[in-house]
A and B are shown apart, each in its own frame.
Chain A
Amino acid sequence: MNQFRNFLKRGGWLILLSLGFFLLGTFLKGGFAFAEEAGSAMAEYRDIPGIGSRNAIWVIAQLHILFAGFVLGVPMFALTCEYIGYKTGDIRYDKLAKEFTKLLTASFGTTATFGAILLFLLVGMYPKLFNYLSGVFFPTFILYAFLFILETIVLYIYWYGWDYMAGRKKLHLFMGLLLNLVGLAIMWTADAWLSFQASPVVLSTSMGYWERLWAAVHNPTWNPVNIHRVIGNVVLGGFMCGAYAGVRYLGSKTQAEREHYDWMGYIGNFIGVFGLLPLPFAGYWLMREVYEYNQQMGITLMGGVLSWLFILQAIQIGVLFLGANYYFWQGLAYRARVEARYKKYILAMVSVLILCFGVWLTPHSLVASLSEARAMGGTHHPILGVFGVMSAKLTVVNLMILTTFISFLLYWRANQTATVSWAKAALYFQYFLFTVAVIAVISLGVYGYYVPAVVRVKILSTAQVLVVLFVLITVTPLTALSLKSAKVTGTMTWGVMPPRSQYVLVSNGILVILTMTLMGYVRSASRVHFHIYGVMRDTSAYAYTPSVGFAASMMAGTTFAFCLIVLFIFWVAGLPDKAAKKQVAEDTSSKLAIPTGGNG
């Protein structure tokens, strides 16, 4: 940050100012184009020369949604931590929750700003679409505004009342709960608009106004999107916390700071993984609803022009799983110092993860030259082609979830020995459950090759999901109970993790953001050349679906911009602490100076 200040002092402000004027000029140029069009007729579309209306909307909408995800995910994270602190009496959790709520206040304004810009761009550049959506959803716009005001009030009370309500923690926790509930209501309201665009229902003129509105809100993909986003926001909140802790750990100057941020990174990663495990199930439900709604849309997504995006998603989530597991293993090695005991298990798990990762990212049709395709007898590889279908992919995803869960359990159990009489029986029961689950998941996956698609999608895949969920739901409380009165056989040493583990935390945070960006694009692109699928066609110059490379570049650029803004917010939010530390340092030095001043 000192370099940045020096850059500003050395005339960098002039460069920034010039850049600002250039951007403003570009925008105004586009604005004049709007004015010329506006006089002629009711425009259906307007454009920003040089940038493109779709690109502008793309970037701003993505930034808004990422910030919105952060603003909604962090309260879930903060409330959970505050509640744990309240129940356990561990003040670190309360401090952690407060530290993140401070970031909320700074992020909230940014979210609203991007939301306002998005609204202006939509009204200005897609008036026909916005007019239609207003006609259907106007009451929800009012509701949204009301909820936003309520959210602001509750957030202010939650943040500014933190110390004031220290003696009335239950009341403060209730405010946190209220903050989350209002936040969810805001998100679900907005979800209605976007899910309607992807899966509209026919709104008959014979329907009453409110009946039409509810039919539009309660469209086929509304609920799956709602649930998917709730879990997704928990994951985002957790991994963003982990990334923040990782960055702060890397910049820590004292052991106390390292210990604090190491612990924070562990909590962030834990919550992120906790959300990550059920997230694929929610995604599966959403895709199943998409297929139920419109097979053509499902085929476009999974087998058509957009299918390569799911290979990119597989890479992202696969690396994320690897990163989350690696961080657990690093914790076993450095914090718990039990690496030797678990080495063989870790080797087995990393092998399973890499194999599963390989299967997941195998495309159905391989990119091949003409001669290669001839040699293979088509674009389907005789061996690898087997792994390119959904049956294989769903199987390996479930195996990766089980493996990550085992990593988590190993970390949980490290340096603890259960003392309850039934501990051994519980352990053997867990071995049995995992063994049966793995066999069941693989068997169902293999059987999926021999049955019609409808059986595979509706029965076998659901059975796989239920098997894994059963393991998660059974083993977690069983382990918690067996370790309740466990004997501690070693200590967890905080603040000793190597820098590479912190870069993994940063990587996990970036990958979650990037995955949100990618899947947001997928959901939007599934409408192909429609603003509202099957109802309102996009007749603008941007009705085409861009290439994967172009889309990925847009996503990468937007994600980088988001990271820069978040870093700026972190920096701004940390300024009061820096000022306080500086003040303390000055006070201390002045007190120390008195005896040596000679005049006292």
Chain B
Amino acid sequence: MYILRVLLFIAAILGGFAYIARQIPQEVSMPPEEEKFDAAKVKTVDDVVEIGQKIFFGKGQCALCHALGGGTSGRCPNLGGDNPVGIKLTREFEYETYTQPNAYIYMDYTNSPPKRFAARMPEINKPPIGLTEPEMLTVFAFLQKASGPVEITPEEIIALANPRKEESGQSAPAHLEIVSLGDAVSGKATFEKFECVGCHKIGEILGGDKGPDLLPALKKKEIVAIRSAIFEKSDAHQSYDEKMTVKEMKDILSYLAGFKTAKEVETLAGHVAPTAGGGI
């Protein structure tokens, strides 16, 4: 019988618990509707910002790591509060941050002078997140809105969502619309400053033999690959991430982008004075 009494006692405790729980507000929380990007709904800048906000906290998973002011997050930079990135960063930098987070140096803009930032951010235009380019632009618009005026226009979003057909019938790569390189003229000076031609050939007639010929990559427009290679840790390149600024790197890439054929190299060779040194 004592077992029965114990069971009744247990049942009374559990029943009491369930009873108390039923005396407090009974609210069933339904999941929100899943947001899908629809360019047709974009009419105003506010629409762009609103979509960006939803993507920031939803599909983009940005809020998993980044805070927007208020509290702090020890894992990734706080993008708001005292450090609003929206008015600090260019759209090019943002785009490259989203799509090539580990391709080249990251400058920790919270420090002065900037320090190299060890990025752990995923490429958000690839799985599992897989944001499209218009979606990325809306996120940037949302970040801009948090700290100042919004430069992104609804027209840009609509244009990116509906890429125009070129004469060949091929769709133009959308990211070319928002990514710009640096200044080619400054790039030439930077190229000389870092004595790149001491090791690299560009075609048959220019540069040293220690590094690979850059022309094949330039022909294939592999600018991003070259950019990554510049900052890969190697005997030759081990300190570029600390010595070269983002602007210098962009200028070099812009300068190199001008070399597309061997003939152009010959023509432009005069612009570059090969050095006898071994480079860095």
Contact = CB atoms under 8 A, between A and B. Distances in A.
Q: Do A and B bind each other?
A: yes
Interface of A: 1, 3, 200-206, 220, 247, 250-251, 291-296, 305, 308, 311-312, 315-316, 363, 367, 454, 503, 506-507, 510-511, 514, 528-529, 533-535, 537-539, 543-553, 555-557, 559-560, 563-564, 567
Nearest to B4: A3
B51 to A, nearest CB: 18
Interface string B35-57: 00000000000000000000001
Contacts of A203: 122, 128
A291 B71 contact: yes
Given A250-B6, A510-B13, A556-B15, A535 B27 contact: no
Nearest to B34: A537
Given A206-B122, A552-B17, A454 B72 contact: yes
23 contacts: A1-B3, A206-B122, A251-B2, A251-B3, A292-B73, A294-B64, A295-B67, A295-B70, A295-B71, A305-B27, A308-B25, A316-B17, A363-B24, A454-B71, A506-B9, A510-B14, A529-B31, A544-B28, A544-B29, A547-B26, A547-B28, A549-B21, A551-B21
Nearest to A454: B71
Nearest to B25: A367
Nearest to A559: B14
B63 A205 contact: no
B14 A514 contact: yes
Indicate the size class of the contact surface on chain B: 35 or more
In the complex, the 9 A-B pairs of residues with the closest C-beta atoms, listed nearest first? A552-B21, A529-B31, A204-B122, A549-B22, A545-B29, A556-B14, A547-B26, A556-B18, A543-B31
Contact of B9 (A201, A292, A503): A503
A200 B128 CA distance: 12
Nearest to B74: A292
Contacts of B25: 308, 367, 548
Contacts of B58: 534
Given A201-B64, A559-B14, 7 more contacts: A250-B5, A296-B57, A305-B27, A535-B64, A537-B34, A548-B22, A564-B7
B17 A534 contact: no
A456 to B, nearest CB: 12
A503 B27 CA distance: 34
Interface of B: 2-7, 9-11, 13-15, 17-18, 20-32, 34, 57-58, 61, 63-65, 67, 70-75, 102, 121-123, 126-129
Contacts of A551: 21
Contacts of A201: 64-65
B54 to A, nearest CB: 13
A160 B64 CA distance: 49
Nearest to A536: B128
A200 to B, nearest CB: 7
B10 A305 contact: no
B63 to A, nearest CB: 7
Contacts of A293: 64
Contacts of B7: 563-564, 567
A52 B174 CA distance: 46
Contacts of B73: 292
A532 to B, nearest CB: 10
Nearest to A249: B2
B201 to A, nearest CB: 30
B63 A544 contact: no
A473 to B, nearest CB: 27
Contacts of A294: 63-64
A203 B65 CA distance: 12
